[in-house]
Structure 1
């Protein structure tokens, strides 16, 4: 008991000192060898004279011991003593076709991998070229787009200014007509606005009719032609 404790302490001191000093003291080396020599793994016991071979015809044998995978395990452990025919361990034609198909799908050859990489790089290059074309086309349209945006902004600002001026004009006319300030949401004010819009519409119609009459009169025969 004391010797075992001494060996454990010696190995502990050895591991502490080995991180600081490259050289090992002979006493520490001896203690380390004594500690490692005490480890004795048990050998794997194989009963080659009377190995356990499950009876596949028995109902008491588990199903997993009746599979081909377990037969391969038995043959790998006991060899010919397992009674397993080595020819039966090879995959069938169907299993071999499935294995080959899986290898082709998940483990393609180097040539196939290079072709896949080349096709993917070609596709990515084509996508990049298409994207660059779209960017170039949009950049070419950019001056016109900026000009249109500025024009729309000016028009919106002008329209807002005109609406504000018209609103102030209507409010001033309402004060003049009713003698006091009127709420723009009141029915009285809305009725006045409807009347004004009706009058303006009538004036526009009269103006268009007058212009058409003037154009028709100007398109008549000239005095030289009539003579």
Structure 2
């Protein structure tokens, strides 16, 4: 047990020391004129960030003309200058352009607000009529529901009169009987409507016969619905 602990302490000892356990011997920096570090771009060990115009601009900004960097070489090319100008126009617009964009946005918001207010006003004007139509449709639906319920109860009463009180409404025979009764009832309703139309035509003919010829309206069109 003691041997693994000693090995662990031996490995941790260099880490806990106030000085590096392993010696580090860095390569001497190549100093140029006035002790300015100038990496050799042709040296394969030179770091990539020590090459190119960016590091040259850094040296010139730090040491000025003493760095030996030609400031003309730090100026962007026409292509780079065009790209920089386009980026500035896109991401850094002028104050006038920003004001125009804000004004256009405000005008669009105001237009949308006016359209919304007009739509609300139009809908509010239609509201009483819409409510009246809704109430009428609801009343008609309830009336149809009551009529349908009364019709089914009437058909059920007729079927029970024919089959008896204890007839099973789920039986096939009962369902067929209900269909026959519905057909008969539809025929009766159709006959009643036809009779009403004939009576209306007869009444109209009597009125027309009693009216002078000059005041008679044109004869009604023949009814083709039957």
Please point out which of 123, 136, 142 is paired with 1:151: 136
Residues of 1 paired with 2:66 and 2:138: CA distance? 95
Residues of 2 paired with 1:72 and 1:185: CA distance? 97
Offset, 1:211: 5.1
Offset, 1:168: 2.0
Residue aligning to 1:41: none
Residues of 1 paired with 2:97 and 2:182: CA distance? 78
TM-score (norm 2): 0.69
Offset, 1:148: 0.9
Residue aligning to 1:98: 83
Q: Which moved more, 1:106-115 or 1:204-213?
A: 204-213
The equivalences for 1:76-225 within 5 A come to 76-210=61-195, 215=201, 219=205
Superposed CA RMSD? 2.8
Q: Which has the higher contact order (CA 8 A, sep 6+)?
A: 1
What do the CA deviations read for 1:166-214 (whole angstroms, capped 9, x no partner)?
2222222222211223333322221111111221233244445545655
**Ranges in structure 2 where 5+ consecutive residues have no aligned partner:** 1-30, 213-226
Residue aligning to 1:43: none
Please point out which of 30, 51, 62 is paired with 2:47: 62
The 8 Å contact of residues 56 and 66 in structure 1, kept in 2 or not, is answered as yes
TM-score (norm 1): 0.69
Residues of 2 paired with 1:97 and 1:218: CA distance? 92
Question: Cα–Cα, structure 1 residues 116 and 164, in superposed 2: closer, same or farther, change >3 Å?
Answer: same
